[in-house]
């Protein structure tokens, strides 16, 4: 088990990519903090992870609040004894035309999708350095961190910042034995899309294989990025987009 006894925090761990990442990491032997605002969902995922033979604890967190993320890091060390990394995955979307995107609508997404990644990196890395622990941060960016999309000015801005923070964080933290990388999913088949094929089909058509990406496909890449096999990947944001960024026309 490549990650046996490693201690990893996963935010947004109650569903979608976060849930699948928790299970993939648990499958590699990592002990987990499943953090989410949806505490019931987090508890359910923690139970699934424990069934794979690891320690897992649920924690309710509002990642848009610095003090909540700081407390999350402290909880992780209290329960797991150390900290070896964090999957900064929690995020939201709020689609509006730019001229209707008032400051409150803009900041709601920025605070969750961008500021939370800074909080995770800052408090997580400070704790790891204090403990003398080495490890990895993986941050969820998006294909929309590299290209524009109508109605998503806030989301585009936040995810572009995540790409940049992953790069800059890697540079700043390398001397402490800490890697920082990003992952940029394409269109993922999660419940947030609903069951309306008229919504899903146009998104799927933008991938090379004309289908939505299953969340476990992203999770497998995330889990790999935490392992020593990925130690030469640092500062980069890895697309998991079925060719969207390379071949979209």
Q: Catalytic residue positions? A: 155
Tell me the sheet residues that pair with 85: 8, 136
Between CA 50 and CA 123 the distance in angstroms is 26
| CB contact at 8 A, 26 and 3 | no
Q: Which residue has the tokens 């079925």?
A: 242
Q: Which long-range contacts (CB under 8 A, 24 or more apart) does 62-71 make?
A: 62/37, 63/11, 63/12, 63/35, 63/37, 63/90, 63/112, 63/116, 63/119, 63/120, 64/111, 64/112, 64/115, 64/116, 66/115, 66/119, 66/123, 69/116, 69/119, 69/120, 69/123, 70/119, 70/123
Tokens at 232, concatenated: 């030469």
């Amino acid at each position: 088990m490549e990650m046996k006894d490693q201690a990893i925090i996963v935010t947004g761990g109650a569903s979608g990519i976060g849930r699948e990442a928790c299970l993939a990491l648990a499958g590699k032997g990592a002990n987990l903090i499943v953090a989410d605002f949806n505490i019931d969902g987090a508890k359910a995922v923690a139970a699934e992870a424990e069934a794979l033979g690891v320690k897992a604890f649920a924690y309710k967190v509002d990642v848009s609040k610095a003090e909540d993320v700081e407390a999350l890091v402290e909880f992780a060390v209290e329960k797991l004894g150390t900290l070896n990394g964090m999957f900064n995955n929690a995020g939201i979307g709020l689609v509006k035309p730019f001229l209707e995107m008032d400051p409150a609508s803009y900041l709601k997404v920025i605070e969750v999708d961008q500021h939370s990644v800074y909080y995770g990196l800052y408090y997580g890395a400070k704790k790891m350095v204090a403990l003398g622990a080495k490890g990895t941060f993986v941050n969820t960016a998006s294909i929309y961190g590299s290209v524009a999309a109508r109605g998503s000015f806030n989301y585009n801005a936040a995810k572009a910042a995540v790409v940049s923070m992953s790069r800059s964080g890697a540079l700043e933290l390398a001397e402490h034995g800490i890697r920082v990388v990003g992952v940029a999913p394409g269109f993922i088949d999660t419940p947030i899309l609903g069951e309306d094929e008229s919504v899903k089909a146009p998104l799927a058509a933008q991938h090379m294989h004309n289908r939505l990406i299953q969340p476990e496909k992203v999770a497998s890449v995330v889990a790999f990025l935490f392992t020593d096999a990925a130690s030469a990947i640092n500062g980069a944001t890895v697309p998991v987009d079925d060719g969207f960024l390379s071949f979209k026309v």
